[in-house]
Chains A and B, each alone.
Chain A
């Protein structure tokens, strides 16, 4: 088991390096520059800017300086767009925000999705089941850029219960709508996967045996059926968790949270090279890390994988 973890972790390192090199190359190949503006800068002004941000150096020197900064000083460099912030400053601002609403959305999606799926499976072909399936399908097809404004119209404009956006250091009132908007479709997927997997398990022989033995239904479900039914759900939760905590540009735009999702997209649009690289690397590392964790969890659950 230990050697599996070590192997899995070490194999992530080249992946991260390749990620950095490819992002660096793609970014530089995109037309336009961080300093191109409507007016267009005179050459001498452009030269001063390029000198300040090291863009006048050959590309290999740029990437060497960049990697050295990250590895030895954990310094992602200055932002090209936000001139009085470093990329580290921006990551330090945006990541806690994204993590907060991401983790909460995950918790809500799991806490509602799994019980809903189980209940629908247990009450198979009843009105409750139909309602749960209906909700799941509806929630999955309703994109969050439609849901976000609807939530604001209902809870801010009509009911005046919740602030229509902002973050305010993560006060709970500001968290509710982003969490609803982000978690709903995941919740629906989790409920659907749990339901179908639970149905399959409930029809298997060992459950029939348990029923024949006269065990109470609650004990059958919780003690016998739940564990095997959750395996496919867990394989879905790994990537879902990464998606949620790496931020959603839609949530950031509609609720002005100041999270990483919007910084990521804007960094690409602004050609803010250092910010874009910084966010890409952090998101990349997180994705690789959580994939590794999922793999390791799986290996632990299922020894067949540990080969």
Chain B
């Protein structure tokens, strides 16, 4: 947990200093950064590459990382994250937690929508009810369910009216949320876009068209000025934003460029300030543009999951086989010679970068690869597989060049070290999801990016009930540990134990933990490289004069 009070104070202080500095140096505003003193560029516009069109920017309907970036520019929730991922005030100046830890009271600041209307607690009540209303059919209503808001689940199941949701506007600037049960990481969850306010009058007047540039009303640092699907999305400074005085960047443009190599050419041509580096090209980019090529840890894992359900192969039910395959996988070869982008070899399911997560000492992580290989051979032989009776299975991944390379290398390692014959097959994304969900696979690729910065966002996935537990691994102890962790004061003890059980049982083979691998222009400052969730707020960026 984060000490919110302290953080709030610090931020408030910094904001005040920045505001005063900005005010006193108004004339020199375009020349120097109010805090760092760096010389600012006259053109404060930032252009970045988008992989694909933004499907929607309606806060309650939005899905996906890239769309959320746009929503965080156009709207603001109760709390924001700072560049380390800590919670800082957003529309809420502060909040209190009741004695029984089930009622949060948020105290809102006086701020305005882009049309001049005040942002009130009622806007949050409206948005939160809208998010759970079956009529909205928000694909992210499950997130609201996870927030454990009183009656949330019943409303989503259409068994209760959205008005019964445990949210209330005590007055215009006091918003109260009642939970079903205490949830220690609840404050962090309100930095998520699904919980952002929406402007009722606009939504009701324009229906689905309310998010068009000509109609939209937001409360974020930017307003939408142009949006063409699969071409571009342009946001410009919102003069009515409460912290507009501290915003330096004037304009944000997202250009859709589907092909990442094409995007890299556009970056080199000076069209983009930021783009992703295609897999395997980080070392060469680092060499040619050392100050612009970045790699930093992300809150995502990459693994292969065994099908342990009845439809899975008999061989995988033997833990020795699962361990042998995991041990024989040389993760260093994958990260150093295949992905080459600063990814970290994974021996645990949860990435080390996860907030307050201490990586537990799992045995095989500390061995040398030589030891692991020897152990793998021993285990596989003990399980009864050898040259005469070789282990054979199918291994699937979703169609993608990078996944293909990794799968090929892994299967070669197994072939050479253990004589195992893994047959590779790729599937188009939706087919792949279907195959995995129906347990119609033997070994399948999996990956997960944390929804919030806490280990349970990963470890909940291996509980029996989890929809994402495609391997159908069942471990009662893990279920119990994860259930306890929800309310425990020391959840890390539970997480450590779960990781240790996973190392003993090996229901999945962790491969690596992701890195964000980007090209970022020298002149673009303020990228939150230390925020592992990559929660981006464009208003924190600025451009310096070269």
Interface residues of A (CB under 8 A from B): 30-33, 35-42, 44-45, 48-49, 51-53, 78, 81-86, 90, 93-94, 148-149, 152-153, 156-157, 160, 163-167, 252-254, 256-258, 262-263, 266, 269-271
B137, A48: Cβ atoms closer than 8 Å:
yes
CB closest residue in chain A, given B436: A40
CB closest residue in chain B, given A97: B231
B132 → chain A, closest Cβ, in Å? Answer: 10
B274 → chain A, closest Cβ, in Å? Answer: 16
B433, A164: Cβ atoms closer than 8 Å:
no
| Mask of B266-301 contacts with A, CB within 8 angstroms, 1/0 | 101101000000000000000000000000000000
Name 6 interchain pairs, CB-CB below 8 A, sorted by A.
A38-B433, A38-B447, A49-B137, A83-B208, A84-B208, A253-B262
Given contacts A48-B156, A83-B56, contact A149 B139 (CB under 8 A): no
The stretch that binds A, out of B168-176, B368-376, B389-397, B423-431, is B423-431
Which B residues are CB-close (under 8 A) to A258? 53, 228-231, 256
Which B residues are CB-close (under 8 A) to A53? 137
Instruction: Pick from A166, A254, A269: contact of B259, CB below 8 A.
Output: A254
A263 → chain B, closest Cβ, in Å? Answer: 7
Name the interface residues of B185-236: CB closer than 8 Å to any CB of A: 208-212, 228-232
**A124–B153 alpha-carbon span in the complex (Å):** 79
B265, A269: Cβ atoms closer than 8 Å:
no
B137, A167: Cβ atoms closer than 8 Å:
no
Query: B58: CB under 8 A from chain A?
Result: yes
Query: B468: CB under 8 A from chain A?
Result: yes
| Mask of B228-270 contacts with A, CB within 8 angstroms, 1/0 | 1111100000000000000000000001111101100110110
A231 → chain B, closest Cβ, in Å? Answer: 40
Query: B61: CB under 8 A from chain A?
Result: yes
| Mask of B458-492 contacts with A, CB within 8 angstroms, 1/0 | 00000000011000000000000000000000000
Which A residues are CB-close (under 8 A) to B262? 148-149, 152, 164-165, 253-254
B318 → chain A, closest Cβ, in Å? Answer: 28
Query: B546: CB under 8 A from chain A?
Result: no
**A170–B116 alpha-carbon span in the complex (Å):** 35
Choose among B53, B230, B430, B448 the residue with the greatest number of A CB atoms under 10 Å from its CB. B230
Choose among A30, A32, A37, A262 the residue with the greatest number of B CB atoms under 10 Å from its CB. A32
**A272–B258 alpha-carbon span in the complex (Å):** 19
Instruction: Pick from A35, A41, A83: contact of B61, CB below 8 A.
Output: A83
What's the tally of chain B residues with a CB closer than 8 Å to chain A? Answer: 55
**A15–B135 alpha-carbon span in the complex (Å):** 37
A-B contact count (CB 8 A): 156
**A49–B63 alpha-carbon span in the complex (Å):** 14
Instruction: Pick from A38, A90, A165: contact of B266, CB below 8 A.
Output: A165
Given contacts A48-B134, A149-B262, A149-B265, contact A35 B139 (CB under 8 A): yes
B57, A84: Cβ atoms closer than 8 Å:
yes
Instruction: Pick from B55, B138, B231, B435: contact of A82, CB below 8 A.
Output: B55
- List 4 additional contacts besides A152-B262, A271-B430; criterion CB under 8 Å: A45-B142, A45-B145, A256-B232, A266-B52
Query: B158: CB under 8 A from chain A?
Result: yes
B209 → chain A, closest Cβ, in Å? Answer: 7
Nearest first, the 8 A-B pairs at minimum CB distance are A32-B430, A258-B231, A52-B137, A40-B467, A31-B434, A83-B56, A48-B134, A48-B137
A84, B61: Cβ atoms closer than 8 Å:
yes
Query: B5: CB under 8 A from chain A?
Result: no
CB closest residue in chain B, given A152: B265
Interface residues of B (CB under 8 A from A): 52-53, 55-58, 61, 63, 134-139, 141-142, 145, 153, 156-158, 208-212, 228-232, 255-259, 261-262, 265-266, 268-269, 271, 428-431, 433-435, 437, 447-448, 467-468
B156, A45: Cβ atoms closer than 8 Å:
yes
Which A residues are CB-close (under 8 A) to B55? 81-83
CB closest residue in chain B, given A53: B137
Which B residues are CB-close (under 8 A) to A31? 430-431, 434-435
Which B residues are CB-close (under 8 A) to A49? 137, 139
B382 → chain A, closest Cβ, in Å? Answer: 36
Which A residues are CB-close (under 8 A) to B157? 44
B268, A33: Cβ atoms closer than 8 Å:
no
**A90–B56 alpha-carbon span in the complex (Å):** 13
B228, A37: Cβ atoms closer than 8 Å:
no
Choose among B57, B157, B435 the residue with the greatest number of A CB atoms under 10 Å from its CB. B157
B435, A167: Cβ atoms closer than 8 Å:
no
Choose among A48, A85, A149 the residue with the greatest number of B CB atoms under 10 Å from its CB. A48
Which B residues are CB-close (under 8 A) to A85? 208, 229
Which A residues are CB-close (under 8 A) to B57? 84
Given contacts A83-B55, A165-B257, contact A270 B139 (CB under 8 A): no
CB closest residue in chain A, given B133: A48
B224 → chain A, closest Cβ, in Å? Answer: 12
A269, B430: Cβ atoms closer than 8 Å:
yes
Instruction: Pick from A37, A149, A160: contact of B269, CB below 8 A.
Output: A160
A262, B433: Cβ atoms closer than 8 Å:
no
A249 → chain B, closest Cβ, in Å? Answer: 9
**A90–B229 alpha-carbon span in the complex (Å):** 8
Instruction: Pick from B134, B139, B255, B261: contact of A37, CB below 8 A.
Output: B139
Choose among A31, A37, A90 the residue with the greatest number of B CB atoms under 10 Å from its CB. A31
Which A residues are CB-close (under 8 A) to B261? 149
Which B residues are CB-close (under 8 A) to A262? 230, 258
Which B residues are CB-close (under 8 A) to A164? 262, 265-266, 269, 271
Given contacts A42-B467, A152-B266, A157-B268, contact A256 B230 (CB under 8 A): yes
B437, A263: Cβ atoms closer than 8 Å:
no
A256, B467: Cβ atoms closer than 8 Å:
no
**A82–B56 alpha-carbon span in the complex (Å):** 6
**A67–B127 alpha-carbon span in the complex (Å):** 35
B257, A48: Cβ atoms closer than 8 Å:
no
Which B residues are CB-close (under 8 A) to A44? 153, 156-158
B229, A166: Cβ atoms closer than 8 Å:
no
**A209–B434 alpha-carbon span in the complex (Å):** 71
B437, A36: Cβ atoms closer than 8 Å:
yes
CB closest residue in chain A, given B140: A45
CB closest residue in chain B, given A153: B265
Which B residues are CB-close (under 8 A) to A269? 428-430
A259 → chain B, closest Cβ, in Å? Answer: 8
**A163–B266 alpha-carbon span in the complex (Å):** 9
B258, A42: Cβ atoms closer than 8 Å:
no
**A234–B429 alpha-carbon span in the complex (Å):** 41
B231, A257: Cβ atoms closer than 8 Å:
yes
**A263–B53 alpha-carbon span in the complex (Å):** 10
A29 → chain B, closest Cβ, in Å? Answer: 12
CB closest residue in chain A, given B447: A38
A256, B255: Cβ atoms closer than 8 Å:
yes
CB closest residue in chain A, given B230: A258
Which B residues are CB-close (under 8 A) to A78? 208
A256, B257: Cβ atoms closer than 8 Å:
yes
**A42–B146 alpha-carbon span in the complex (Å):** 11
Instruction: Pick from A41, A86, A257: contact of B208, CB below 8 A.
Output: A86
**A271–B428 alpha-carbon span in the complex (Å):** 11
A9 → chain B, closest Cβ, in Å? Answer: 34
